[in-house]
Each structure stands twice: as structure tokens, then as C-alpha cells.
Amino acid sequence: MKLQSYVGGRWVEGSGEGRAFIDPTTGAELGRVDATGVDGAAALAFARETGGPALAALSFAERGALLKAVADVLVANRDAYGEIARKNSGNTVRDAAIDIDGGIGTLKFYARLAQSLGDAKTIVEPGQDTLARGGNFAARHIWTTRPGAAMQINAFNFPSWGLWEKVATAIVAGVPCVAKPASATAWLSYQMVADVIAAKVLPEGALSIVCGVGKDLVGALTAFDSLAFTGSAATGEMLRSDPAVLAAAPRVNIEADSINATILGPDAAPGTAVFDLAVREVVNALSVKAGQLCTNIRRVLVPAEHAGAFADAVSAKVSSFAVGDPADESVRVGPLVDLEQRDIALKGIEALKQEADVVCGGGIPDGVVGADAKAGAFLAPTLLSCADPAGAKAVHEIEVFGPCATVMPYRSVEDAVALAARGGGSLALSVFSSDGAVAKAATVGVAPFHGRVMVVDDEVGRDHTGHPIVMPMCVHGGPGRAGGGEELGSLRGLRMHMQRTAVQGSPTLLSALADDAAEAAL
């Protein structure tokens, strides 16, 4: 099987040998992905010239109907996607659901949101500012669709959610998409797009996909296009500094890897509900999707007097988890996405061991369920303990993208905030405390360094959605190392694809502009 690209309104097969994508449970090749000879510039031009006008002609409600139709197609084929996720991503049933249902759920959310905006094609912000004494000269801010294409480069860990969360906001804004999935897990993205294209639920040119390297895509971006990237900080830096990007100045949104953290408040002692809730969350961090979530907990900041008990509690649970073939219902932790990622993770763990001790795991499991431990990309859930986080460096800079986290003791809330900030900017942080003063101080202290903060206390209990889970209502992204980007967040997600313009004129003109626009604060 060789994955094709859908560009210019047709399926095109790359002319090269391409790269293999595998079953990470067995190491067996499943197919190849290649975009050699695919004309990226032509793909973007077709999206702009064909898909753009078709989407721009529709109202928000009509665009919402498109997203609903896409979601319906995906729901109808969901069982097949679960099988692909197991074979190509090593996902358990639970892991696959997070990715597949997360993508579908985001489409449905934005479908409803768009339909709530009605027949409008533009957005006006509420209120206006008087600019002259007589009151006959004022200003309002209006949002209109940018006449470009959205180039979207996605990460390997979420081939469904990563694809559709970017597509959803662009389509609502009226902008066509050219998606480029990560080659290692492109099969699921490809199959989903193929099903949507076959169903003919989108205007021609509204959605394209390039499976493979796509070398000339970034170079073909123009001033009114956008580039959204999810992946490593190194690749994000390379894209941001690309000469073509610097020259054309398209809008760029980077969501990069980050060293996310969780903080247990001083009140979160063994035997309390919040202590148990924090244990549960870190256990999930060491098992769900084999730890391969960009928002996953990597550093666990615990009051010094409770650090040992916390590490023991987590270790006792994850040490009992079955690692192996995700097709086996007893398996809690599947493989990493491929052998390359496993080897990178092992190298990272070795670096962390220079500053931290292994509590459990630390390498390839001695045995796995239903598979060969060395042939597959398996990594034992690993918990480390760093006695001196203030004097350490690697634990704040190296992200092991797998089931790995490090427990770190702290002396005061101010100390915990300072340690969290050592990550240099992160996507997410969680606080577990029922002490209101502690929760507030920690939240305000870490907020400048994080895109999202989740606070769990006795009142929230188990009702929270989870530290790593990105909700479409909330912004996703983070400062500094995390890329400095921001996406989703309900209507905030449209910022990337719409132009905010200050319109100065008479109250009569401003009223006329607002008559057929949707009013929303962005």
C-alpha cells in the first residue's frame, strides 16, 4: 500500500520510493508514504483559487453544516479508523478513542458554534468608540475572511484530532486547508480524508492532503496564507525562520513540545482526596497513548515531605500494568509509534538518569503481552525521582516523549512555581489542592509560563477532563519553548484565518456593517 496525496482536485501518487510506515507492535511494514513529484505550489494555488471562493461564499451556518457532514462521514467509518490506529499507532481501544473521537467531537463543536452565528459571513466586535466630539465619527472592529490557504503540518501522535481541530477552525472562517500529516502515522489521516472526499460533502478545493515530505509547500506560502505546525521545537524553529516564510510573512502558529508539570499543594497529603486524584492523573500520564501526548505531565512537583509516598503510590500502580499488543484487552500500555521514537526516548531517559533515580521502569520491558519486546517499540512506564530539582538542568529541558515522568520535591509554593517556570514555557500545568489560597497563588504564578492551567480540588473531584486533554472551548498553545502559539478556544480559533480591521466612519455606516454580521467578542 502506498498512500496518495489529494491535490488539485485529484489523487496523485508520489513518484519515489518513499518512507515506510510500520506496525509498532511487530515492526512490520504496513505501507509507504511519498510525495515526490507532488506540486505543492499548485496544491496551495488550487486551494486558494477554487476552495477559497467556494467557502467564502457561504455563511457561517452553511460552513457549520459542512463540518457536521464531515463528522457524520467519520462516525459512519469509525470502526475502520480504530483498527488503523491500532495497527499503525499502536493504540489500545482507549487510546484510539481519545484521538478519533476527539477529532470528531471538535468538528461537531465547531459545527454548532458556526451554526449559532447564523447567516452572517463577517463578525463585528461589540461596542464602538467615539472618535470626534460631535459623535458623528466613530470606530468598530470587523473580522473578515483572509483570501489565502491554511497550510497545516501535523504531529504523529494525533493523526485524527490534530488534523480535524485545525481544519474545523479554518473551514468556519471560510479558509481552505492543505494538510500534511506526519509520515509515521499518515494512514489514519489519509483514510479519513479519503472518506470525506469520496462522500463529496465539501466544496472542491476546501480540503487537500499531502502524504509525504512536501518539500515545496512552505516555500509556496504567500502573505495571506497561514502555516500551523505541531511537533518538535527544533522543527518549529526551522519553519519559523525559513527564508520564504520570513519574506512572505504568512501567519504562523507553532505548537511545540514542552516540559509540562503538575503541582500538588502542601495540603495534598497521603490519604486526602486530592492526593489520590493526583496519583490517578500521573498514572494516566504513564499509560494513556503510551505517554505520547504533547500536553502530558513530565514533571511532578510534590511537597518534600510527601514526595516519597507519592512516588511509591504511582509506582505501585503502573508497575502492574500490562505492556504489549494493544489488540489484547489486558494491555494498558501499547508501543511507541516506531522504533526510532523508542530509541530517542531511551536516550532521553539515560540523560535524565544523570540527575534522577529510577523508581520504576527505565527501559525496554523484560517481557510484553502478545509480542516481542525488542521487535516492537515498547517502553516500560518509567517514573524517576530527582532529589535536587533546583540544581538540575536536564529534567527541565529534556522531554521523553513516552511514558515517563519525574517526581521533584519542593519546599514552598513559591519554590514550586519557580521550578515549573524552569520549563521555559509549556502547554499545560495542573494544580491539585483544596487550599484556595494555594491554588490561587500557584495559578497566578504559573499562568505567564503556560497556555492552560487546570486546578483540581475536592469540589471538582473526578469531574475534570484530564490534564492532557485539549477541549475546543479552551485555547491550546503555550509561550516560549511551547511555540508561542494559540489555537482553538471557541471563536478565538478563528483569529488565525480572519483579518481584524478597525473601521472608522459614521455611526450610520458602522450600523450598516453590523446589520448582517455576527456580533462576538474576539
Strand order in the sheet with 382-385: 357-360, 382-385, 404-410, 299-303, 261-264, 426-432, 450-456
- Residues spanned by the domain of 201: 38-121+137-257+484-519
pLDDT average, residue stretch 371-377: 91
Do 297 and 177 belong together in one domain? no
C-alpha pair distances (Å), 210 with each of 202, 248, 464: 17, 22, 36
Report if residue 98 sits inside a domain: yes
Can you give the three-state secondary structure of 425-492, one letter per residue?
CEEEEEEECCCHHHHHHHHHHHHHHEEEEEEECCCCHHHCCCCCCCCCCCEECCCHHHCCCCEECHHH
From CA 223, how far away is CA 234, in angstroms rounded? 24
294 is catalytic: yes
From CA 73, how far away is CA 256, in angstroms rounded? 30
From CA 141, how far away is CA 509, in angstroms rounded? 13
**Most confident option among 107-111, 131-135, 513-517:** 107-111
pLDDT average, residue stretch 454-469: 93
Q: Which of 52-61, 175-184, 236-245 has the lowest mean pLDDT?
A: 236-245
pLDDT average, residue stretch 234-247: 90
Phi, psi at residue 95, to the nearest 5°? Answer: -60, -45
pLDDT average, residue stretch 367-396: 94
pLDDT at residue 521 greater than cutoff 80: no
Report if residue 496 sits inside a domain: yes
Q: Which of 117-131, 229-243, 340-354 has the lowest mean pLDDT?
A: 229-243
Residue 367: band (very low, low, confident or very high) from pLDDT cuts 50, 70, 90: confident
From CA 95, how far away is CA 206, in angstroms rounded? 29
Do 432 and 490 belong together in one domain? no
pLDDT at residue 201 greater than cutoff 90: yes
pLDDT average, residue stretch 508-517: 93
The rounded percent of the chain whose pLDDT value lies above 70 is 100
pLDDT average, residue stretch 347-351: 96
Do 185 and 222 belong together in one domain? yes
Query: Which of 470, 494, 511 marks a domain boundary?
Result: 470
Report if residue 475 sits inside a domain: no
Residues recorded for the chain = 522
From CA 221, how far away is CA 230, in angstroms rounded? 17
Amino acid at 466: G
From CA 501, how far away is CA 398, in angstroms rounded? 41
Which cell is 180 given?
500534511
**Can you give the pLDDT at residue 135?**
84
CB 262 within 8 A of CB 429: yes
Report if residue 26 sits inside a domain: no
**Can you give the pLDDT at residue 394?**
96
Report if residue 4 sits inside a domain: no
From CA 471, how far away is CA 168, in angstroms rounded? 13
| Residue whose C-alpha is closest to residue 154's, from 171, 167, 169 | 167
* Domain containing residue 186: CATH number: 3.40.605.10
**Can you give the pLDDT at residue 167?**
97
**Can you give the pLDDT at residue 446?**
97
Report if residue 241 sits inside a domain: yes
| Residue whose C-alpha is closest to residue 88's, from 381, 440, 366, 336 | 336
Residue 374: band (very low, low, confident or very high) from pLDDT cuts 50, 70, 90: confident
| Mean of all residue pLDDT scores within the chain | 94
* Region class of 258: left (phi > 0), else alpha (psi between -120 and 50), else beta: beta
Do 249 and 269 belong together in one domain? no
**Can you give the pLDDT at residue 438?**
95
pLDDT at residue 131 greater than cutoff 90: yes
Residue 32: band (very low, low, confident or very high) from pLDDT cuts 50, 70, 90: very high
Do 150 and 290 belong together in one domain? no
Do 160 and 184 belong together in one domain? yes
Do 163 and 198 belong together in one domain? yes
pLDDT average, residue stretch 265-278: 96
Amino acid at 41: A
CB 233 within 8 A of CB 483: yes
Do 172 and 219 belong together in one domain? yes
* Domain containing residue 342: CATH number: 3.40.309.10
177 is catalytic: no
Task: Check 177, 294, 360, 386 and give the catalytic one.
Answer: 294
Per the structure, the count of domains in the chain is: 2
Do 316 and 356 belong together in one domain? yes
| Residue whose C-alpha is closest to residue 380's, from 350, 326, 335 | 335
pLDDT average, residue stretch 67-74: 98
Phi, psi at residue 60, to the nearest 5°? Answer: -60, -45
Which cell is 200 given?
463529496
Cα 106 to chain center, whole Å? 12
Report if residue 77 sits inside a domain: yes
From CA 115, how far away is CA 135, in angstroms rounded? 35
